[in-house]
Amino acid sequence: DQQVKQNSPSLSVQEGRISILNCDYTNSMFDYFLWYKKYPAEGPTFLISISSIKDKNEDGRFTVFLNKSAKHLSLHIVPSQPGDSAVYFCAASIVNSGNTPLVFGKGTRLSVIA
């Protein structure tokens, strides 16, 4: 029973275009969401996060949008660069949960083609 779903295992985008990675969740108690980026044989690195009190958070080329009613969030990368090619994981948490671990999706592999 996956609480965080990334339904697209892979995505290919031309360099310079927009990459949109999607994530859906089922637990309405989740109130904090994070995106991580992972290169092969390395640990994931934090990219961007958003609290449920917001519907958008922006950091340079990266923007995360949250639609609470649809239980959906998306990561936009504009413009996409070859160095963005990696696996992206969506994660969710409940802030006042008593420290239960983050719940991760299965990841989406992004390939940016030059």
Partner 1 sequence: DGGITQSPKYLFRKEGQNVTLSCEQNLNHDAMYWYRQDPGQGLRLIYYSQIVNDFQKGDIAEGYSVSREKKESFPLTVTSAQKNPTAFYLCASSYKGGNYGYTFGSGTRLTVV
The nearer residue to partner 1, 79 or 102, going by C-beta atoms, is 102
Residue 76 has φ and ψ, to the nearest 5°, of: -110, 135
CB of residue 17 to partner 1, shortest distance in Å: 26
The nearer residue to partner 1, 40 or 114, going by C-beta atoms, is 40
The nearer residue to partner 1, 35 or 84, going by C-beta atoms, is 35
* Closest of 66, 113, 108 to residue 90, by C-alpha: 108
Nearest 5 degrees, angle CA 105-CA 21-CA 39? 70
Contact footprint for partner 1 (CB under 8 A):
6, 9, 31-32, 34, 36, 41-46, 49, 51, 89, 91, 93-97, 99-102, 104-107
The nearer residue to partner 1, 53 or 114, going by C-beta atoms, is 53
Written as six digits, the tokens of 17 are 């275009």
The residues, ordered by sequence, that sit 6+ positions from 35 with a Cβ below 8 Å of its Cβ are: 21, 46, 47, 48, 49, 62, 64, 75, 88, 89, 90, 91
CB of residue 101 to partner 1, shortest distance in Å: 5
